[in-house]
Structure 1
């Protein structure tokens, strides 16, 4: 009855492609569809800010001249890699890691540099986490977790963030501060305000 027909349909589908309700194989075109055009799927370098956030690296916002920024990012990258390996080692139950080509795993939403920028905006300029989340187009929970991670790395690196005046509360405050410091804003921000 129904079970035999279901089995025939299943077997036909496995072996011959599409089938009708009786299990008879249908003619099928087995050519592959055209591949979707690929947008640049090369991940952003983890030690560089995402392209749309690069304007936030300005020393007026970070409080760090370019050479100090580079030094801090290098230090944090080393500490992050060690921290990540320790965490993965604990998750694996101390089993040896199978080394791959380094291209597996989900791409992080925020690079390490993005995370540092978010931390500096929050602790140096006082920008609230919900505002930073909107700027970085992530959830406030993501920003909260990343601030915690970076704060721990900064403590390990013995780097302190000194708050500055003015303390900012909105994106408009940040944009005004950036314009005052003569920072070139991305085009979509210029037209939005």
Structure 2
């Protein structure tokens, strides 16, 4: 499955619960705060400044847009977490 197709399907208002325009506004409002909180947590965990350039290291499976979309769909549909083994 292509990620772009999945993102388009999941961003439909029937699944996410909000319009695409509202999702864009929410993304613009939340993204800088999330990025700042994540960088702060990483800085604290490392105990100092970065040791590698931005973008180095393992790549995330889901970028922030996808994480926000999955969270909205999860909250809207009440999907339970999968239990391990």
Alignment-derived partner of residue 88 in structure 1: 42
Does the alignment pair 1:115 with 2:80? no
Structure showing greater relative contact order (alpha-carbon pairs closer than 8 Å, 6 or more residues apart): 2
Tell me: CA distance 1:66–1:52, structure 2 relative to 1, closer, same or farther (3 Å). Answer: closer
Q: How many residues are paired up?
A: 81
1:68 Cα deviation after fit:
0.9
Alignment-derived partner of residue 63 in structure 1: 17
Give the TM-score normalised by structure 1: 0.37
5+ residue gaps, structure 1: 1-49, 131-139, 142-193
8 A contact 2:17–2:73 mirrored in 1: no
Cα deviation, 1:44-79, whole Å, max 9, x if unaligned, reads xxxxxx314221100121121122101111222211
Find the residue that maps to 1:129 and give its secondary structure. Answer: coil
CA distance in 2, matches of 1:84, 1:122: 21
Which has the larger helix fraction?
2
CA distance in 2, matches of 1:116, 1:76: 9
Alignment of 1:2-151 (within 5 A): 50-54=3-7, 55-93=9-47, 95-98=48-51, 100=53, 102-130=54-82
CA distance in 1, matches of 2:24, 2:6: 16
CA distance in 1, matches of 2:52, 2:80: 40
